[in-house]
Amino acid sequence: MQAAFDNPDGEVPAVFSPDLNAADAPELEEDFPLLDEEEANALADQHRAAADEQVHADPKIVHFGGQAGAPLAQDGQDAAGTYVAYQGDLAAHDPANLWAPFRNKMEWEIARWAKMRGPTSTAFTELLQIAEVRERLDLSFKTTSDINKIVDTQLPPCAEFTCDEITVDGESYELYSRDIMQCIRELYGNPEFLSTMKFAPEEHYADDEHEVPIYSEMNTGRWWHSMQTRLEAHTPGATVVPIILSSDKTQVTDFRNKSAYPLYLTIGNISKDVRRQPSKRAQILIGYLPAARLSHIKEDDTRRRAIANLFHACVRKITSPTRPHALAGIPMASGDGVVRRCHPIFAVFIGDYPEQVLVACVKSGECPKCQVDAEDLGVHAQAPTRSIAAARAALGTLDDGVQAYVQACQHAGIKPVYHPFWEDLPHSNVFQAVTPDILHQLHQGIVKHLLSWLTNAFGAEEIDARCSRLPPNHSIRIFKNGLSILSRVSGQEHKDISRILLGLIVDLNPLAGVPAAHVVRAVRALLDFLYLAQYPSHSESTLKYLEKALKTFHANKFIFEELGIRQGFNIPKLHSLLHYVASIRAFGTTDNYNTEATERLHIDYAKDAYRSTNHKDVYPQMTRWLVRREQILRHTNFIRWRVQQAANAAAAPVVRPARPRFHVARIPSFKSVSFTQLATRYGAVDFREALAAYIIKEVHPQYSPAHVANLARDYDLTFRAVATYNSVKFSLGDPQDRDDAPAVRDAVHTRPSYRDTRGRAVPGRFDTALINQGDGGASTVSGYQVAQVRVIFSLPVKARAAAFPQGYQGPVHLAYVEWFTPFTPVAEPNHQMYRVARKFRAGLRRHASVVAVKDIHRSAHLIPRFGPQAPRHWTSANVLDKCRIFYVSSFVDRHTYITVY
Angle between helices 105-116 and 144-154 (to 10 degrees): 100
CA dihedral (362, 367, 372, 375) in degrees, to 10, reads -100
Q: Could you give the CA distance from residue 451 to residue 570 in angstroms, rounded to a whole number?
A: 17
Mean pLDDT of 737-766: 84
Q: Could you give the CA distance from residue 842 to residue 311 in angstroms, rounded to a whole number?
A: 74
Mean pLDDT of 97-107: 90
Q: What is the pLDDT of residue 753?
A: 94
β pairing state of 784-794 and 813-819: antiparallel
Whether residue 16 is predicted with pLDDT greater than 50 in this model: the reply is: no
Q: Which of 469, 476, 468, 466 is nearest to 859 (CA)?
A: 476
Any idea what DSSP says for residue 440? I
Mean pLDDT of 844-856: 93
Whether residue 112 is predicted with pLDDT greater than 50 in this model: the reply is: yes
* Stretch among 37-41, 220-224, 616-620, 874-878 having the lowest mean pLDDT: 37-41
Whether residue 659 is predicted with pLDDT greater than 80 in this model: the reply is: no
Q: What is the pLDDT of residue 242?
A: 98
Mean pLDDT of 835-863: 92
Contact present, 464 and 484 (Cβ < 8 Å):
yes
Q: Could you give the CA distance from residue 275 to residue 267 in angstroms, rounded to a whole number?
A: 9
What separation in angstroms does the CA of 428 have from each of 243, 439, 751?
10, 25, 58
Q: What is the pLDDT of residue 533?
A: 95
* Stretch among 49-58, 422-431, 867-876 having the lowest mean pLDDT: 49-58
Q: What is the pLDDT of residue 848?
A: 95
Q: Could you give the CA distance from residue 408 to residue 754 in angstroms, rounded to a whole number?
A: 74
Q: How confident is the model at residue 1 (pLDDT cuts 50, 70, 90)?
A: very low
Whether residue 252 is predicted with pLDDT greater than 80 in this model: the reply is: yes
Q: Could you give the CA distance from residue 56 to residue 536 in angstroms, rounded to a whole number?
A: 10
Q: What is the pLDDT of residue 44?
A: 58
Q: What is the pLDDT of residue 292?
A: 86
Mean pLDDT of 405-417: 94
Q: Which of 29, 18, 16 is nearest to 518 (CA)?
A: 29
* Stretch among 72-86, 382-396, 557-571, 815-829 having the lowest mean pLDDT: 72-86
Contact present, 604 and 254 (Cβ < 8 Å):
no
Residues 350-364: pLDDT tens digits?
999 999 999 999 999
Q: Which of 264, 438, 432 is nearest to 348 (CA)?
A: 432
Q: What is the mean pLDDT of the chain?
A: 88
Q: Could you give the CA distance from residue 99 to residue 636 in angstroms, rounded to a whole number?
A: 9
Higher pLDDT, 257 or 74: 257
Q: In this structure, how many other beta carbons lie within 10 angstroms of the beta carbon of residue 512? A: 9
Q: What is the pLDDT of residue 283?
A: 94
Q: How confident is the model at residue 18 (pLDDT cuts 50, 70, 90)?
A: very low
Q: Could you give the CA distance from residue 805 to residue 557 in angstroms, rounded to a whole number?
A: 64
Mean pLDDT of 728-737: 77
Residues 130-188: pLDDT tens digits?
999 999 998 999 999 999 999 999 998 899 999 999 988 778 899 999 999 999 999 99
Q: What is the pLDDT of residue 648?
A: 65
Q: Could you give the CA distance from residue 204 to residue 214 in angstroms, rounded to a whole number?
A: 5
Strands (E), 351-507: none
What separation in angstroms does the CA of 365 have from each of 302, 372, 407, 433, 725?
18, 10, 20, 19, 55
Mean pLDDT of 648-676: 77
Q: How confident is the model at residue 232 (pLDDT cuts 50, 70, 90)?
A: very high
**What is the separation, in whole angstroms, between the first and last Cα of the chain?**
31
Mean pLDDT of 186-209: 93
Q: What is the pLDDT of residue 76?
A: 42
Whether residue 339 is predicted with pLDDT greater than 80 in this model: the reply is: yes
Residue length, the chain? Answer: 901
Whether residue 222 is predicted with pLDDT greater than 80 in this model: the reply is: yes
Q: Could you give the CA distance from residue 61 to residue 207 in angstroms, rounded to a whole number?
A: 10
3-state SS string over 328-359? HCEEEECCCCCEEEEEEEEEEEECCHHHHHHH
Contact present, 684 and 816 (Cβ < 8 Å):
yes
Q: How confident is the model at residue 585 (pLDDT cuts 50, 70, 90)?
A: very high
Residues 46-95: pLDDT tens digits?
677 778 778 877 899 999 988 899 998 765 444 457 888 888 878 666 77
Residues 454-469: pLDDT tens digits?
999 999 999 999 999 9
- Residues 6+ away with beta carbon under 8 Å from 338: 71, 79
Mean pLDDT of 333-358: 95
The H or E element spanning position 816 is: strand 813-819
Q: What is the pLDDT of residue 95?
A: 76
Secondary structure (DSSP) of 177-235: EE-HHHHHHHHHT-GGGGGG---S-EEEESSTTS-SEEE-SGGGSHHHHHHHHHHHTTS
Mean pLDDT of 734-746: 67
Whether residue 40 is predicted with pLDDT greater than 50 in this model: the reply is: no
